[in-house]
Structure 1
C-alpha cells in the first residue's frame, strides 16, 4: 500500500456551467517512492499554490513518457489538465479530490475503508453518463435533440454521481460480466470474477480470487477464495443506520439469495435464502453437534468455521461447525 503525500495528474471534464463533471487520473506521483511517475512529485508540487491546480502548459509537467504526453496534448475544448495534491487523509474538499480518492482505491494503492471519504456525496455532481462522456443534466435535453438531428449515437448509460469503473480503470486479471454494475472506487483483486448480476460498490471489493454473483455494498470487503451466490446481499453502511463494517473472510460461501449483516470469519457458509442480521436469534451448536445456547448473531461476528442454516421444521436459525471447505474452480479464476 502507498501513503501520503501524493499528487494525481488528471484530465478533467468541464460542463457548460464551468463545473467539473469528472476527472480521470492516468498517473499518480508519490513523494519519496521510487516508481515510474513518483520522480515527478517535486516538479509537479512546485507548480501548485493550492491543492488543485489547472495546468495550461503541458510541457511544464516535464513528463518523459511519450504516450502520456500525447494523451494530455491537444485536448478537446471541454477538457483541461489538472494536478490534485493530497497531503493528509482528511475529509474531501473538491470534486477532483473525490475522483482521485476513488482512483486510489481502484488502482489498489489503498484498501477499502482506509481513506477518509467524508463529503464524498456532497462533492460529486449528479450527471448523465453517456458514450460521449459525462453531460450536465441541464444540457442533456439539448444534447439528445442534437444527436437525433445529426443522426449521432448518444447512449445514456446512467444518471448518477458515480461512473462505472471500466470507464477509467481496467483492473488486471479480472473478469466483469456487466461493467455498469461495478462503480469507480471498487477494489478488485486478480482472479476476481464478477458475473452479470454481481454488483460491487465504491470503497468495497475483493482481497483475492473470488466469485461475485451477488452484491458487495459500500465498505464491504471479501476475502480470497470466497463465493457470493446469485442474488445474495451484504449489508452496507450507507443506509439503514448500520455502522458496523461488514466483511467476509477467506473460503466462505454465501448461498443464492442469502444476506449478511455481521462480519464473517474464515471458512463459513450461509445457506441459500437465509438472511442474517446482527439481531437474529441463533441456536449455537457445540462440536458434538448438540444445541448449546440461543444467542444474537452479533455474538458470532468474526468467528471461523461456521455453517448457518435454517431448521426446515421449526424455522429456527442454527449455527453449526462447518464440516466443508469452500474451493473455487481454479481454471475459472485464471483471468
Structure 2
C-alpha cells in the first residue's frame, strides 16, 4: 500500500434517497498528508491505493480517531466529532491530482481551493461539471430536485417554510469555509472553489467563480470568472468582467498582475502585467486591434491585444473621436514603481 497521497479529507455530506452524493463538507482537508497518517488510515479502512471516496461508518470514524491520536491531534478530534454524525460520512483519498471521478472527489478539490491549499488552475478539474449534481440549496441544506416538491409540502403541512436560496451545481463558499482576513458583502456571490486571498474585499456587486480568485489584498467590485487570478493590490471596478477559460489543459488562464485597475463595466480577455489600467467601459479581447502610441500620442503600430499580454505599466483606453482602442505607457504606474524601489 502506498503511504504517499496528494490529499486526504474526512467529510460529512448529503445523499438523496438513492444514496447518491449531493454535496460533502470537509472541515479540515489535508494536502500532502504525512506517510504515518496515510498508513494508519489505510490500515483501518483497508485502502490499497488510487483515488477513492470511501463511505465510512460512525464506528470506523471512532477507530480512525483513536488511531490518529498520536499522529495528528486535529484530525483525531475532527473524527471524534464526525463519529457523532447522523449524516453520511466519507473518507476521500487522492493518490494523485488526476481528474475527479466522484462527487466527493470533486468537492475535495473545491475545498482545497477555498482553504487556500491550492491556487486557481493548479488542480486538475477536468470533467468536474457532471460530478456536481444540480441541487436546491435550501434552509434545510442540499435537496435533490426530484425530492424538493414533497419536502416543500411536508414543511407547509407542519407550518414551516422550506426556503430555496438557489438552484445550482455550486454552493456558497461561506457555507463551507470562511477564509481569514476577508470581507464579503454578499456571500451568495462567491462560489465554493473560489480562492479569496488575505485582505480581499468583495463588494456587493462583486462575484468570484470557482477556480478563480484573488491573491489579496485587493478590492473586487466586478466579476472574476473561472480561470482568473487577480494579483495583489488590484481593483476590479464595479460591473467589470474578466474572462477566463477553465478546462483540462492548454487553455487560457487570465491573470491580473499587482496594482492593476480595471474600470467600471470594463473587461479583459488577456492576462495583464503589473500596474496596468483599463479605462471604464473598455472591453479587450485577445483579438482586439490596439493602436500603440508613443509619448507624443503618435501612432507607432497596430497590434493585437494578445501581443501585449502580461506586459507591465500599460494604459488601455478608447479614443473618444474615432473609437480606436489605444495603448500608452502608464507613466503614473512607472513613476510610482520607481519611487517605491528608490525608497526600498
Superposed pair shares fold, TM > 0.5: yes
CA contact 2:5–2:93 (8 Å) conserved in 1: no
Larger CA deviation: 57-66 vs 194-203: 57-66
Give the equivalent residue in structure 2 for 1:45: 42
Deviation by residue 1:48-92 (Cα, 9 ceiling, x = unmatched): 43612111112111254585245313323xx21110011111111
CA contact 1:207–1:224 (8 Å) conserved in 2: yes
Give the equivalent residue in structure 2 for 1:73: 83
Match of 2:95 among 78, 82, 87: 87
CA contact 1:29–1:40 (8 Å) conserved in 2: no
Q: Does 1:205 align with 2:213?
A: yes
Give the equivalent residue in structure 1 for 2:21: 20
Hey, what's the Cα distance between the residues in 2 that align with 1:153 and 1:265?
50
Match of 1:116 among 119, 124, 128: 124
Hey, what's the Cα distance between the residues in 2 that align with 1:4 and 1:299?
40
Q: CA deviation at 1:288?
A: 4.9
Q: CA deviation at 1:32?
A: 5.5
- Structure 1's 184 and 311: CA in aligned 2 closer, same or farther, altered over 3 A? same
CA contact 1:9–1:82 (8 Å) conserved in 2: yes
Hey, what's the Cα distance between the residues in 2 that align with 1:322 and 1:143?
58
Cα RMSD over matched residues? 2.1
Q: What does residue range 158-169 of structure 1 map to in structure 2 within 5 Å?
A: 158-169=166-177
Give the equivalent residue in structure 2 for 1:137: 145
Hey, what's the Cα distance between the residues in 1 that align with 2:39 and 2:11?
17
Give the equivalent residue in structure 2 for 1:331: none
- Structure 1's 152 and 71: CA in aligned 2 closer, same or farther, altered over 3 A? farther
Deviation by residue 1:230-267 (Cα, 9 ceiling, x = unmatched): 0000112159xx94211110000000000101111000
Hey, what's the Cα distance between the residues in 1 that align with 2:272 and 2:302?
18
Give the equivalent residue in structure 2 for 1:302: 310
CA contact 2:234–2:260 (8 Å) conserved in 1: yes
Give the number of equivalent residue pairs.
Answer: 317
Q: What does residue range 143-154 of structure 1 map to in structure 2 within 5 Å?
A: 143-154=151-162
CA contact 2:233–2:260 (8 Å) conserved in 1: yes
Give the equivalent residue in structure 2 for 1:330: none
Q: What does residue range 120-269 of structure 1 map to in structure 2 within 5 Å?
A: 120-237=128-245, 243-269=251-277
CA contact 1:7–1:45 (8 Å) conserved in 2: no
Identify unmatched segments of 5+ residues in structure 1.
328-335
Hey, what's the Cα distance between the residues in 2 that align with 1:29 and 1:244?
28
Q: CA deviation at 1:39?
A: 6.1
Hey, what's the Cα distance between the residues in 1 that align with 2:106 and 2:255?
24
Q: What does residue range 315-334 of structure 1 map to in structure 2 within 5 Å?
A: 315-325=323-333
CA contact 2:62–2:83 (8 Å) conserved in 1: no
Q: Does 1:275 align with 2:283?
A: yes
Hey, what's the Cα distance between the residues in 2 that align with 1:237 and 1:32?
31
Deviation by residue 1:73-114 (Cα, 9 ceiling, x = unmatched): 3323xx211100111111111111000000011111111111
Hey, what's the Cα distance between the residues in 2 that align with 1:167 and 1:322?
41
Identify unmatched segments of 5+ residues in structure 2.
337-344
Larger CA deviation: 122-131 vs 63-72: 63-72
Instruction: Report the structure, 1 or 2, having the larger helix content.
Output: 2
